[in-house]
Amino acid sequence: MILIDFLNEIIDKDFTVARNPDILVVDDHQLILNGTFELLNREYSKGRIFKVQTVKETVSQVKSKKFDLIVMDLSIPNEQGERAEIESGIKLLKNLLKEYPHQNFMVQTSYVRALVRIKHEIDNHQGGFAIADKSLLENEMLMRVNLALHGATHTKNIKTGIELKPEWLDVLRLAFEESLTDKAIANRLYKSERAVRTYWTKIQDVLGVYPEDCKEHGKNMRIQTKIRAREEGLID
């Protein structure tokens, strides 16, 4: 029994089976992009598979055409010639989730942990949403694709132990990715320095970084906060 027929038996009969879907594949790595394209082209021989490599190209395609599914990596450049960054993909996905609440997505990435940054948006999304690590076998990856096409959700790969408020994530990003001081962070966020210091205590509490532990072991709290934030996928 082929994969699609198998899934038709286990997925709610009310879902419309996409036999000839239009799928957009987003990945800046040429080998993976072509490999995913060929795999989907074989599985959905009557469908139309499109491929792009940047944020700009993705936005252009989505604005001009309706896709049954978007399969995307997170580490992508904003434009051709620019460096691929996880934050670029996260921002793109966050915007697409907001602007297209019923769009089906399948995130295929080696940076699954980074999705915790937008877990709230993913949880509230009304379309299909599945996650596939790039190490998955082809049949497993295709199963996630079909789940998303049917409007189903498969997000158990997102680590849920740590969740921070958006403004706390902003503090981490500005401090460790843009190397800003607390004063500069306060100015950027239109907050007081006192508020930023409060954010730090909240962040460190959630991450389990405490003054007494750092003092006892001679560790710098900011450095330990950075290490823990990276371990949880909150920053790159």
Where in the sequence is the domain holding 224, given as residue range(s)? 166-231
More confident residue, 3 or 178: 178
For the cut 80, the answer to whether the pLDDT of residue 73 exceeds it is: yes
Domain boundary among 119, 154, 189: 154
Domain boundary among 121, 154, 187: 154
171 and 85 within one domain: no
- The token duo for 77 is 């450049």
Q: Is the pTM of this model over 0.85?
A: no
181 and 113 within one domain: no
B/e letters for 130-167, b = 16+ CB within 10 Å, e = fewer, are bbbebeeeeeebbbbbbbbbbbbeebeebeeebebeee
36 and 111 within one domain: yes
In angstroms, the CA 87 to CA 22 distance is 26
51 domain residue, yes or no: yes
Report in angstroms the alpha-carbon separations of 116 from 17, 110, 140. 30, 14, 22
For the cut 70, the answer to whether the pLDDT of residue 15 exceeds it is: no
Q: What is the pLDDT of residue 166?
A: 83
pLDDT digits (tens, 9 = 90+) for 128-153: 898 988 888 888 899 889 888 988 88
Domain boundary among 129, 154, 179: 154
Residues 6+ away with beta carbon under 8 Å from 233: 111, 112, 113, 114, 115, 116, 117, 159
Most confident of 93-107, 189-203, 214-228: 93-107
For the cut 80, the answer to whether the pLDDT of residue 112 exceeds it is: yes
Indicate the Cα dihedral angle 30, 31, 33, 36, nearest 10°. 170
18 and 133 within one domain: yes
Total number of domains in the chain: 2
pLDDT digits (tens, 9 = 90+) for 144-192: 898 889 888 887 766 655 667 788 888 998 999 889 999 999 999 999 9
217 and 141 within one domain: no
For the cut 90, the answer to whether the pLDDT of residue 111 exceeds it is: no
Q: What is the pLDDT of residue 169?
A: 86
217 and 133 within one domain: no
44 and 133 within one domain: yes
Report the CATH number at residue 185. Answer: 1.10.10
216 and 196 within one domain: yes
In angstroms, the CA 142 to CA 70 distance is 13
236 domain residue, yes or no: no
For the cut 70, the answer to whether the pLDDT of residue 69 exceeds it is: yes
